[in-house]
């Protein structure tokens, strides 16, 4: 496959990244994942805006090709013949001597890969996912989309070991987010609830899109803390992310959510999201 690395689309097999890259030595990296549906990138602008915010939050300057990133991502998808799949983009400060505070002299590393995947036929869309709850052991800058993903990898491996699909995190206030998603509940009244943005969770691009689509459809959305009790009693629960899109949660720590099927409101929002994605490629 072909990747983009530091100015050039090139074969992944021969691409080279320095062993002194600060992402490798210090975990100093920012990333984004943006899906491609029928040849169209979904919410690319909000993903790139969040990339800028994440870079700024850890004192990294935008890479020299920042303005060309949309074109580069399109070119890379095209070069790989991908009309349904995703682009993964990572930016790091580049190479320095192995010193915490060394200032990079060269260019930042920008790596983009594109991979085919048929998100619209994911079984989880209709079947939903089962989850477990775990204390959120991550750091307190979860608003930065960093490549330091060890806690998320451990949470997802633990879910699989425990026979469920994924892990949702909680802190002393309530549910923070999923290991790679944002969490919503639907109240009996039909109102959507999701945790307000703060440094305790990532500002999901899909979260923002779903809130807009829900409000456009006349639904009420409240941003407030969801306690663990409330989550377990909610008639409907769903998660959002670029790659999940919007997926119902059917069981939490072995307790069925509602009747264990996709709820009515969740289904309506799935349909609205599919319509939105179709509208991107409409002539
Ligand atoms: N929270 C975390 C921890 C994530 O990794 C993700 C996936 N990037 C999200 C939320 C959802 O964000 P988005 O909708 O932008 O994919």
CA of 145 to the centre of ligand 1 (A): 8
Counting atoms of ligand 1 from 1, which one is nearest the CA of 240?
Answer: 14
Q: Quick one: 124-281 is in which CATH superfamily?
A: D-amino Acid Aminotransferase, subunit A, domain 2 (3.20.10.10)
Element (DSSP H or E) covering residue 114: strand 109-116
If you ran DSSP here, which 8-state letter would residue 61 be given? P
ipTM above 0.95, yes or no: yes
Q: What is the pLDDT along the chain (283 residues), one digit of tens a residue?
A: 999 999 999 999 999 999 999 999 999 999 999 999 999 999 999 999 999 999 999 999 999 999 999 999 999 999 999 999 999 999 999 999 999 999 999 999 999 999 999 999 999 999 999 999 999 999 999 999 999 999 999 999 999 999 999 999 999 999 999 999 999 999 999 999 999 999 999 999 999 999 999 999 999 999 999 999 999 999 999 999 999 999 999 999 999 999 999 999 999 999 999 999 999 987 6
User: How many whole angstroms from its chain centre is CA 77?
Assistant: 19
Model confidence, pTM: 0.98
Element (DSSP H or E) covering residue 85: strand 85-92
Torsion, CA 195, CA 203, CA 24, CA 5, rounded to 10? 160
Q: Is 182 in the pocket of ligand 1 (CB under 6 A)?
A: yes
Number of H helices, E strands in the chain: 8, 15
CB 247 within 8 Å of CB 128? yes
- Enumerate the domain spans of the chain: 2-118, 124-281
Which residue's CA lies nearest to atom 4 of ligand 1? Answer: 180
Which residue's CA lies nearest to atom 5 of ligand 1? Answer: 180
Is 156 known to be catalytic?
Answer: no
Q: Is 241 in the pocket of ligand 1 (CB under 6 A)?
A: yes
Residue 190 CA to residue 88 CA, distance in Å, equals 35
What spatial distance separates the first Cα and last Cα of the chain, rounded to whole Å? 30
Which pair of tokens denotes residue 255?
């307790």
Q: Is 206 in the pocket of ligand 1 (CB under 6 A)?
A: yes
Residue 239 CA to residue 183 CA, distance in Å, equals 5
Residues 6+ apart with CB under 8 A from 207: 182, 184, 194, 240
For domain 2-118, which architecture applies?
2-Layer Sandwich (3.30)
Counting atoms of ligand 1 from 1, which one is nearest the CA of 47?
Answer: 15
What integer pLDDT is reported at residue 27 of this predicted model? 97
Which pair of tokens denotes residue 91?
């930016």
CB count within 10 Å of CB 192 equals 22
């Amino acid at each position: 496959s072909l990747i983009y690395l530091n100015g050039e689309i090139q074969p992944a097999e021969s691409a080279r990244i320095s062993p002194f890259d600060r992402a490798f030595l210090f975990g100093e990296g920012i990333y984004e994942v943006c899906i491609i549906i029928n040849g169209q990138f979904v919410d690319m602008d909000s993903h790139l805006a969040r990339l800028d915010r994440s870079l700024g939050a850890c004192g990294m300057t935008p890479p020299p090709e920042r303005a060309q990133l949309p074109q580069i991502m399109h070119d890379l998808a095209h070069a790989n013949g991908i009309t349904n799949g995703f682009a993964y983009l990572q930016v790091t400060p580049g190479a320095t001597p192995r010193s915490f505070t060394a200032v990079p002299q060269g260019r930042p590393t920008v790596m983009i890969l594109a991979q085919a995947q048929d998100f619209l036929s994911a079984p989880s869309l209709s079947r939903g996912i089962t989850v477990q709850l775990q204390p959120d052991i991550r750091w307190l800058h979860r608003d930065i989309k960093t490549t330091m993903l060890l806690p998320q990898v451990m949470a997802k491996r633990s879910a699989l070991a425990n026979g469920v699909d994924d892990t949702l995190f909680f802190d002393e206030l309530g549910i923070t987010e999923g290991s790679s998603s944002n969490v919503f509940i639907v109240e009996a009244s039909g109102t959507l609830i999701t945790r307000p943005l703060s440094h305790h969770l990532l500002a999901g691009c899909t979260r923002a899109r779903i809130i807009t689509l829900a409000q456009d459809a006349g639904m009420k959305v409240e941003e407030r803390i969801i306690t663990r009790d409330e989550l377990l009693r909610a008639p409907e629960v769903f998660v959002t992310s670029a790659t999940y899109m919007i997926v119902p949660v059917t069981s939490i720590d072995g307790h069925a959510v509602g009747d264990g099927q996709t709820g009515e409101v969740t289904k309506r929002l799935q349909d609205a999201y599919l319509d939105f994605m179709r509208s991107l490629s409409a002539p």
